[in-house]
Chains A and B, each alone.
Chain A
Amino acid sequence: MIPRHFVIAIGVLLAAALGLGIYALHMRKTVTAIPAASTDTRPLVPPVAGPTERVTLYIADDEDGTLRAQSAQIPMPSGRQQRAEELLRALLSIYLDKSSPHVLGAGADVRSVFLVDPGVAVIDVNSAFADTHRSGVLVEELTVTSLVHTISENTPGILKVKILVDGKERDTLAGHADLSDYYDVSAVSQLASQLQQ
């Protein structure tokens, strides 16, 4: 016969092993399921104060797949690069509102904008921007056109725009819109006109 305390000890060990196995499985599922939730939503830069300016933002609307011009009065710093960043942050603040006609995922932000002469703008968005973006040709195109057209219409001299994600090149925004090349501002302007009709 087997001593009772031995049976209990084995039983406890088996239960512990099983419990740990289930816990490990649970942890594995949780880790793969929560990247979006763990996104750092803290602001990257302090809010800008100072004199405000009237700018034109090009807002995407998913319902009818259009882009519409909207005037906004926002505080603008004096530096050209900082102005471009504030412009896009103002645009994103609209998209981050849950009642927005073109909602972006929580934590989406513009990390920085680099203006390089002659005529190059590089928009660096954070990974939450792309990772939480909805997939689809039109919905991605609306986002890209909105960003590129807003920055080029309010910042004279930009000829081409590159979009980076977390400082790195990425093939597409969310499976469709190509991010591997420079956007031609004049071509995007024509597209924006099509989208405003």
Chain B
Amino acid sequence: MRWTSRAESVGHRAISAKAWRVLALCAAFSLLMSAAGPEKHLSVYSVATNYSLPIAQREGHDYVGLLELLEPLGRVSAKTDSQRWRFHYNNVEGEFQLGKTRARVQGREADLGGPFFLENNRGLVPVASLGSLLPRFLGGPVNLHEAAGRLFIGSVSTHFTASLAADNPPKLVFNFTAPVNPSVSTEPGVLRMTFSREPLVSPASPTLTFGSKAIPSANYSEGNGAAILTVNSTIPVIATFSNGGRTVTIAPTATAQAAASAPAQPTATATNPAQAANPTNPASSASSAAQVSRRYFAVVDASHGGDDHGESLSNTLAEKDVTVALARSLRQQLESRGITTLVLRDSDANLSVDQRAVFANADHAAIYIALHAASSGHGVRVYTALLPYGQDDRGPFRSWTTAQHGSLSLSRTAAGAVIGEIQKRQIPVRSLEAPLRPLNNMTGPAIAIEVAPQGSDVAQLTAPDYQELITGAVATAIAANRDQLGAAP
């Protein structure tokens, strides 16, 4: 075979270009495999509950699981039929097809703005489509802040005003239309409040100026499922909460006030949101015991969640999944007995123990029940708090770490009642104290229940009849002690 020099030259160039393309693709592939960015989240705010979901990237666009999105809001079910995915939310039916950009909801077409994905029976829809798609299912308006990953269902916005008090040194006062509990962080010249669970919305202008040298301005921004208020200051400042979490006052720290005449040296001052900057800290609840406003009688907490998987009960079963199932079952059992119940974690969301305590304390719930699952041992363990060393209560202000102290006897009463009911059902049960947060941070009666299989088969933990047997016993015990628990401050 004879090749001409021209053909050879063209061939060289062509193959060389191809080779470089392939090599570049390989390099890009390797880079992609080694560098994963931070996970994006969609925060959902509704009247019933607030929660957060992970956002998946498909073809360069943001996607979210529709079933996971609507599950905390109502009854959902899904059925996969080859390339079709039939989804029911309460009585509304939707039909989606793999790769199609249009779906049918109640027989009417809906534009998704991108192809529908079906992965392991999970239906993924573009986040951008939620603004038009969800009203079809929910029958009401939703407000999507797509770039920030925030979804408001119904009228759930929290607004705020900011004003500079004419004190010396100056104080910046934020007033919110609903209680808030942001995480607070500081760095030199900046105090940042991050609102992950509050449906906080922007003021008329995102930049607020105050004409003060000490606290010249504040900015509102949104991103990755949270709203952020950034206060710019030239002196170290601290955030304090009052008015049941509706007012946040930004004021100079004691050292900054003492050194008011000297040049300010910006220093980092961190305020633990669950303690000092906590709108519902034990201090405020202690002083307002006479004015208890309770929305839910029982707060049920599905322990772990999100990145915290809890115990790996088997290769495929994580504790965090069992606790959610138990929590839903317990809510159903309690509500069927007329007990209003809030499930703190009703999805695969990250929730710190401080946040869990804050929500339950804020509600002044008559009983807090944390749920755990375990593969070791047999039956059920009911725990009350093992308090850490020392009590730093000062006057009406209770120590965060031993906040449970005043309610411990009532917690033990509740635990005793639960044990009695479980024993009646012939399930092995025992009562113990445990160094298990957030039991010690609760201002009201609080227990934790750890469910293990009766035998050695961990699969029993997911069996609905076993779950109902236990949650039914717990609900019966709580209902029987309703008056005693309800009288607790």
Contacts and interface: CB of A to CB of B under 8 A. Distances in A.
Interface string A2-13: 110011001001
Name the prevailing secondary structure of the B interface residues. Answer: mixed
Q: Which size class do B's interface residues fall under?
A: 35 or more
Contacts of B165: none
Interface in B294-312: 304, 308, 310-312
A28 B33 contact: yes
B376 to A, nearest CB: 5
Contacts of A21: 26, 29-30, 33
B311 A136 contact: yes
Contacts of B33: 21, 24-25, 28
A90 interface: no
Contact of B22 (A3, A14, A191): A14
A179 to B, nearest CB: 8
A1 B2 CA distance: 9
Interface string A157-197: 00110000000000010011110111111011011001100
B430 A65 contact: yes
A138 interface: yes
B386 A62 contact: no
Given A14-B22, A65-B377, A1 B1 contact: yes
Interface string B433-460: 1111100100000001010000000000
Nearest to B352: A171
Contacts of A176: 372, 434, 436
A13 B15 contact: no
B383 interface: yes
Contact of A175 (B311, B375, B440): B311
Name the prevailing secondary structure of the A interface residues. Answer: helix
A69 B19 CA distance: 72
Contact of A138 (B3, B34, B377): B377
A2 B11 contact: yes
B390 A138 contact: no
A186 to B, nearest CB: 9
B281 interface: no
B433 A137 contact: no
Contact of A178 (B29, B304, B372, B436): B436
A144 interface: yes
Residue in B3, B18, B377, B401 with the greatest tally of chain A CB atoms within 10 Å: B377
Nearest to A2: B11
Given A17-B23, A181-B401, A137 B388 contact: no
Residue in A6, A139, A177, A181 with the greatest tally of chain B CB atoms within 10 Å: A181
Interface residues of A, number: 44
B19 A13 contact: yes
B34 A24 contact: yes
B15 A10 contact: yes
B388 A6 contact: no
Given A25-B33, A137-B374, A175 B389 contact: no
A135 interface: yes
A180 to B, nearest CB: 8
Nearest to A184: B389
A131 to B, nearest CB: 14
Contact of B387 (A1, A184, A185, A195): A184
A18 B448 CA distance: 52
Contacts of A153: none
A139 B436 contact: no
Contacts of A65: 377, 381, 430
Contact of B390 (A6, A160, A188): A160
Contacts of B436: 137, 141, 176-178
Residue in A7, A137, A144, A178 with the greatest tally of chain B CB atoms within 10 Å: A137
Contacts of B312: 135
B377 A194 contact: no
B63 to A, nearest CB: 25
A145 to B, nearest CB: 9
Interface in B127-182: none
B7 interface: yes
B30 A177 contact: no
A134 B390 contact: no
Interface of A: 1-3, 6-7, 10, 13-14, 17-18, 20-21, 24-25, 28, 62, 65, 134-139, 141, 144, 159-160, 172, 175-178, 180-185, 187-188, 190-191, 194-195
Given A28-B33, A144-B435, 5 more contacts: A3-B3, A136-B375, A137-B434, A138-B434, A184-B388
Interface of B: 1, 3, 7-8, 11-12, 14-15, 18-19, 22-23, 26-27, 29-30, 33-34, 304, 308, 310-312, 319, 372, 374-377, 381, 383, 386-390, 401, 430-437, 440, 448, 450
Kindly list the 6 A-B residue pairs having the minimum CB-CB distance in the complex, ordered from nearest.
A181-B388, A135-B311, A160-B389, A184-B389, A182-B389, A17-B26
